[in-house]
Homo-oligomer: A and B are copies of this chain.
Amino acid sequence: MSREVVVIEGDGIGREVIPAAVEVLKALPVDFEFVEADAGDATKEATGEALPAETYDLAADADATLFGAAGETAADVILPLRDAVNSFVNVRPARAYPGVDAVRPETDVVFLRENTEGVYSGHEDRLSDDLSTLTRVVTSSASRELAEYACEFVEDGRGPAGDPDEGFTVAHKANVMRETDGRFREEVLAVAEERGVDADEELMDAFATKLPLDPSQYGVIVCPNLAGDVLSDLAAGLVGGLGLLPSANVGHDNALFEPVHGTAPDIAGEGIANPTATILSAAMLLEYLGHAEEGQRVRAAVEGVLSDGPRTGDLGGDATTDEVTAAIVDRL
């Protein structure tokens, strides 16, 4: 039975990198049915809605979704889509590649970001002309679910070191947010202890100092929603930018894959966007749908091209999106 993969280009370079990733997927012996759907700024202009109910439903019912990028409407698209696939964890690997300029070439980390609560709860109030509040939410259930995933991730050797003994680091701000991050921290550490997985902890501000100083001391990092957003983007800066970073929003029987980068309006439409982050997101999609070997083939092809193939402008080359994609397909 073929798997249904919803494909949403979105805006800007999303329209260039998504077709590139689909081309890579189509070159593999996997039986996916691709269903196109719309979202983003252009969709809002045309229909009044950044994320039409039809797109939400398609993503919710699919086996997986591959999303490009959205412009001004990014939050209106991506947050409901994460909800559509019931994703409880955002998986964000950040590694430097040989030959690619990086502030910290030894960076090789994976963030496991809580994907449903924290300041993303959506509860905000304008209480007076002077005062607004936001209700930051942390539950034991979501914290434990994330921690269970982190333990499996580590046990399966999916961390950068490949070694389950490396365990994970939980980054939080429980010295200030004692009740909410205190709960998060406690539950995550308790699950690790129950499962015999090694876990240490770091205050998120101290982590932000230490990661640039010595990224080699970290592997898998587990964090609340906004901490994961900011700290993984920091790691992106250390590996040389957003052009190479994939991500997965994982639920129990559905998932959403997206490059970490945005719409890059400065180069959109020119056919010169780097498709790597989206192609690596497609590799994560393959692995999620049980095609681990094909996922590995895509990764290897990408690494080959990064080391001695054509490069787009962001990596100092002058190749087009199509040329890079063709080179990757060639190596599959």
For chain A residues 117-153, which have a beta carbon within 8 Å of chain B? 119-120, 124-126, 129-141
Check A46 for interface membership: any CB of B closer than 8 A.
no
Shortest Cβ gap from A176 to chain B (Å): 6
Task: Report A's interface with B, CB cutoff 8 A.
Answer: 74-75, 79, 103-104, 119-120, 124-126, 129-141, 173, 175-180, 182-183, 204-206, 208-213, 226, 229-231, 233-234, 236-238, 240-242
Given contacts A132-B179, A136-B136, A173-B226, 10 further A-B contacts (CB under 8 A): A75-B176, A120-B176, A126-B179, A131-B139, A132-B182, A134-B180, A209-B236, A212-B212, A213-B237, A234-B234
Does A124 lie within 8 Å of B180, measured CB to CB? yes
Q: Which of B183, B230, B241 contacts A205 (CB 8 A)?
A: B230
Query: Top 10 A-B pairs ranked by shortest CB distance?
Result: A212-B237, A124-B179, A134-B136, A208-B234, A205-B233, A209-B237, A208-B233, A209-B233, A134-B180, A75-B175
What chain B residues lie within 8 Å of A136 (beta carbons)? 119, 133-136
Give complex CA distance A70, B260 in Å.
38
Shortest Cβ gap from A249 to chain B (Å): 15
What chain B residues lie within 8 Å of A135 (beta carbons)? 133-136
Give complex CA distance A180, B121 in Å.
13
Name which residue of chain B comes closest to A204, CB basis.
B230
What chain B residues lie within 8 Å of A176 (beta carbons)? 75, 79, 119-120, 226
Name which residue of chain B comes closest to A125, CB basis.
B179
